[in-house]
Amino acid sequence: MSEENPGRTSDSGVSIQASESSPAPRSGGGRPQGGPGGRPSGGPGGRGKFFRRKKVCKFCTEKIDAIPYRDVRLLQGFVAERGKIVPRRLTGVCTTHQRRLTRAIKQARNIALLPFATRH
């Protein structure tokens, strides 16, 4: 490295100047690329990495009409770790079955088959 040139030199011998000013602004107003959380967006344009499968109601596909409140194993899949009922948009259950599921979870809580909340 020569003392005349304060910049760095690459392997090919070309001089690279180190800019001491602030970096040039990125296009897009300085916002990070991609969706929320830095993930690639899957919106219009179809450039997203992840393909989200359409959620189908488990009870409709298995043709379950009545949701038994005594079936704790089934109900626990729709209750979060903290004891909250998981919303439809996360589970993929249809509206009618979500209402029946909610009623079954509340019945199971009332007769102490499911906890209202976690022990903390």
| CA-wise closest residue to 107 among 71, 63, 81, 64 | 71
102, with CB counted inside 10 A (0-12, 13-18, 19+), is middle
Measure the CA–CA gap between 102 and 84, rounded to whole angstroms. 10
Extract the tokens encoding 57: 């109601």
Neighbours of 98 (CB within 10 A): 21
Q: What is the pLDDT along the chain (120 residues), one digit of tens a residue?
A: 555 555 555 555 555 555 555 555 555 555 555 555 555 555 566 566 777 778 899 999 999 889 999 999 999 999 999 999 999 999 999 999 999 999 999 999 999 999 998 877
Query: What are the beta bridge partners of residue 36?
Result: none
CATH class in words for 66-110: few secondary structures
The ranges assigned to domains in the chain are 66-110
Neighbours of 99 (CB within 10 A): 13
pTM exceeds 0.75 for this model: no
